[in-house]
Structure formats: C-alpha cells, structure tokens
Amino acid sequence: MPVSQTAWEPHRHEVIIIGAGVSGIYQIKRLTDLGIDAVVLEGDDDLGGTWYRNRYPGARFDSESYTYGYSWSREVLDEWSWKERFSGQPENLRYLNFVADKFDLRRHMRFDARVSSMDWDNDAREWTIKLDSGAVYISRFVIPSLGPLSMPTLPSYPGMGDFTGPSFHTYHWPEEPVSLEGKRVGVIGTGATGIQVIGELADKVGELKVFQRRPNWSSPLNNSEISGEEMVEIRNRYDEIFASCAESPGGFEHVPDWRGFSSLTEQERHAHYDFLYTQPGFAILVANFAEIFFDQAANDEISAYIANRIRDRVDDPVLAEKLIPKDHGFGMQRLPLETNYFEAYNRENVHLVDLSEAPIERITMSGIQTTAEHHDLDVIVYATGFDAITGGYDRINIRGIDGLLLGDVWADSPRTFVGVLAHGFPNMFMVAGPQSVSGSTNFPRAIETGVDWVTNLLIHARSGGCTRIEATAEAEQDWVDEVVRAHERMMFRHSKGWFTGYNSNVAGHHEGKIRYQAYFGGAPRYAAKVAELAAAGYPGVTLT
C-alpha cells in the first residue's frame, strides 16, 4: 500500500528526492544502498511518474523495452521478461513496481506529497521544502527528479468548462475504464501522444474527429511480441545491448549509417529507406544517414520518401496531403511512431478537422465550434502536450541565494551546468534536468548517467566534509555556450516543437524565442564530458 504523507511537523533528512518516476526510483536505490538518509516526495498517490499518469489507450514505449529498462541490476535483468518489443503502459508500470518492491524502496517514498516551494537557507546550508498539504521537510541536499514531461498543457479556448461530457488531457486519462464504444470522440493534437491514441481508438469508437493544427511526420513502430526464446537471447546480450546504446547519440541500439549519404546512389539509398521503414522503432530516424540531421538535400530526400509512404497508405489524396507536414522536414521535430495511424483515416468513422483551415473558436456544451462548423461530441481528449523540461521546475517556487526565483532566472531559457547544477541554487542536483542529454535521448539510458554522476558528486562532497556545492557562474556560462553551439549545428533549430527549442504548446514559449532546453551533442559526448569532470575533481563546482 502507498504510504500517505499526513504529518505536519518538519521532517529532516540529509537528502530529499522529488519525484518517484524512473529517475527517482533509481536515485533512492543508489542513496539508500550507501546508507544515506533520503526520502522521495511524490505528488501522486503512487510511484511510476510518466507510466503512472499516461494511461491513455495506446500508451506504450517507443524505445525498445529492453533498452528502456534499468541496466543497473543484474537480478532485475535476469528476472524480468519483456513481452513486447515496445511494451504498453500497464506492463511498464508493473515493471517499475516490480523494481521498487524487489528492493523495498516504497518505504523511502512519501506519496500525496506534492512540493509547492523550496527555499535555500544560505546560513544553515539547507533547503526548506514545503508541500501543498502544509507539511515541511528540511534537507541538506535536494534532488529534483521531475521528469521532462510532467507538466501537461491545456489550450485556453473559451468555453472549456461548458462541455457537459467527459473531457481530459491524455496525461490525466481516468484510472477507471472510460467507455468509448459508440461514442463521438474528439482528439485535439497530433503529437506522439495523439498519434498513439488515434491509432488505438479508431476502430473502438462510434466516430472519431481529429483536430489537427499542424501535421507531424510519423513512421511505423513495427511492434511485435517477444517470445520466451527471444527473451533468453536478449538477456544473454544485455551487456552488448547497453554498450551499443552507450555509443549511439540517441541512446538506442540503432546506430547511424556512416556510409555517407553521397557515397550511395539514389537507388541504393531508397533501398535502405525501404529496409528501415520495416524495422522496429526509431531505426528509420537514427539508423539512417546521419546527414538527414545536417544536410538539407539529405533531409529533403527522406522527407519526400516518407511523404510518398503516407500517400500510399491514405486512400484520399487530398486528405493525405493534409497529413504531410510542409513546415518542417522528417526528424526535425520529435518523431512520433505509429501503429495503424494513417490507415485510421481510411475508415468511414474517422474524420480529420484541419484547424489550419478553420481554427477552433470555442468549446461548447456539446462539442467544438470551429470557424467553419460545429462538431457534436460526447468526449473530448486533449492530446495537447506538455510544458516540457522546465515546466516541472516552474510549478515549484524554487528560491535560491537571496531569494532568487529559479523561474525568473530561466524566464527566457534555462541555464545550468551540465544539466545538473544551477548557479545561485546550491545543493540542488537535477536529474535529467534542462540542458542535460536526457530530453534528447532514450530517457533511462541518460538518467542512469545523471543519477550516477549526482551520486558520485555527493559521495565526493561528503567524504571531504563539504556541506555546500554550487556551480560557478563561469562554468555554467561555458555549458550554456556549449548547449547553444550543439543546437546551432542542427537543422531542426528552425522548427517548432518542445524537443527542438520552441514549444508551441505553451503560450509565449514560441514567439520567435528559442529555449535551449536540451543538449544535442549526443549521449556519448555528454557521458564523456561528465566523466571527465568527475575524474578531474569537479572543476567548475565550488565545494565548501
């Protein structure tokens, strides 16, 4: 049973971890193994983070399950069997519970413990952490493990409260089964989430209306079951699998094709695309020619190839054109992977509502009014994305030295030292924070790097009797410059999308301003950089 946080007296621990998702679970394991007094504060009533929340139909990994699972426990690797190459949300949540229960981690977690503020006391060298409930925690160190996609964003259409049927953001899909059979369902948003939910619901609802503002590129997930024998073979290859993930820029088993785009004929390249299109997961993107990210001609060619695949799969040619992005190339925003998404539009009960032609005016009691017509609906699903990467931090009032508000410092763009430390906010270590590599790679691979680095920094500081750890302003600026340089090298810097610097889901985040939210230098370069810092005794970090 989850433990609920009800006590009101201040609680003292050496380390507070915020968030019991994929990162928080591993972080508490590392700290308690070291005998460090630490607890996890989790806002929800149970653990799992992303996989606890996103219960919408069709929610599943798009990284291969066996590359997404933790690599740090041989026992877990030996005991857990993935059933599908891209495992679904219920199984993923079971997995995280299995890990937490196996190591008895739940007893270090406090649920229904949503943090509302964190204040740094520069004299006492402590953080005071307040919860929505009024409970107070005091700790020397705090490790926000908030996840990059934990702040869902709803649009602000007039009348949203007037709709009389069920309506919810996909992140808040109800725990109780929602009956959609025979219902008229509207889905707003065609990102990775919308594309999963639309593919899954198309043949299960009465009528499905997809409200699309901008189309997204998407390619097949190519999911399959993992047999018992295949799982044995995967288990035997785990060391090799994780080693190859560590060498790939995206933290995947797929590695870029370095043969050189121009060294092959167009026919040879097309044969390669044909092969990749049938391969599982992100192969079409990350096992493709690396030039597709840097060279316009290479990107134009793969974009034209994928556009033709969409034309082949959608019966109505006019509709097919509406589903093909014209404002960005393939892979220039975070690529959604799909199952039967394009075929869904060949069904009589599925209709695309193109908001670029007729925007939404308001939500009414009975549906959605666009500038062209009224759409009668029984259920509205908002698949409208997240205030990604920094949203979780903005939700907490984080005040550092002299009451400096982190949200103010990051108003235009976050500033960090290797995505972990922020100058002016001592003793706060972000796992998978802004400007780390985690936002741009197979998430757990990168968070393991982050958790291990934070843990080693703590061990180093404690062994030297240090009670205050802060990045210097110079080191932080150097890292921000490196993040900007890596971003500037990528062609996607011109496209919109949370992943690539403009977040069109958040008012004000996309008005010509780039937010440098993630480091795009690749996981191997990032891992090498932070390992180098640790080996050199953490230059750029003041330990007192």
For ligand NAP, the binding residues (CB under 6 A) are 60-62, 149, 155, 188-194, 196, 213-214, 334, 355, 383-386, 498-499, 504-505
For residue 476 the two structure tokens come to: 């932080």
Task: State in angstroms the smallest separation of the CB of 122 from ligand NAP.
Answer: 37
CB of 284 to ligand NAP, least distance (A): 15
Cβ closer to ligand NAP: 115 or 506?
506
Q: Residue 229 or residue 511: which is nearer to ligand NAP going by CB?
A: 511
- Residue 208 sits at φ, ψ, to 5 deg, of -125, 125
Please choose, from the candidates 368, 345, 382, the residue with its C-alpha nearest in 3D space to the C-alpha of residue 202.
345
User: Shortest gap between Cβ of 496 and ligand NAP (angstroms)?
Assistant: 6
- Residue 481 sits at φ, ψ, to 5 deg, of -60, -40
Give the single-character DSSP code of 332.
Answer: S
- Of the two residues 139 and 193, which places its CB atom closer to ligand NAP in the complex? 193
125 token code pair: 């060298």
> What is the smallest separation between the CB atom of 14 and ligand NAP, expressed in angstroms?
33
Nearer to ligand NAP, 191 or 400 (CB): 191
Q: Strand, helix or coil at 541? A: strand
Residue closer to ligand NAP, measured from CB, 215 or 540: 215
Residues 485 and 500: their CA atoms lie apart, in Å, by 14
Q: Minimum CB separation from ligand NAP for residue 90, in Å?
A: 14
Taking the complex as a whole, how short is the minimal distance between the CB of residue 327 and ligand NAP, in angstroms?
9
HEC string of 72-141? Answer: CCHHHHHHCCCCECCCEHHHHHHHHHHHHHHCCCHHHEEECCCEEEEEEECCCCEEEEEECCCCEEEEEE
* Closest CB 495 distance from ligand NAP, rounded Å: 10
Enter the DSSP assignment of 264: S
Distance CA 357, CA 157 (A): 17
For residue 152 the two structure tokens come to 């869902």
The widest CA-to-CA distance across the chain, in whole angstroms, is 71
Sign (positive or negative) of CA dihedral 171, 174, 180, 185 = negative
Q: Which is nearer to ligand NAP, 210 or 454 (CB)?
A: 210
Compare residues 5 and 193 and give the one whose CB is closer to ligand NAP: 193
Q: Which residues face 143 on adjacent strands?
A: 17
Nearer to ligand NAP, 279 or 472 (CB): 279
Q: How far is the CB of 266 from ligand NAP (least distance, A)?
A: 31
Shortest distance, position 379 Cβ to ligand NAP, whole Å:
17
473 dihedral zone (left: phi>0; alpha: psi -120 to 50; beta): alpha
Secondary structure element (H or E) that encloses residue 188, with its range:
strand 184-188
Torsion angle defined by CA atoms of residues 59, 388, 495 and 218, in that order, rounded to the nearest 10 degrees? 0
Is 154 in contact with 170 (CB distance < 8 Å)? no
CB of 193 to ligand NAP, least distance (A): 3
Joined together, the tokens standing for residue 276 give 């990749």
Query: Is the CB of 297 or the CB of 358 nearer to ligand NAP?
Result: 358
Closer residue to ligand NAP (CB): 62 or 452 = 62
**Closest-CB residue for ligand NAP?**
191
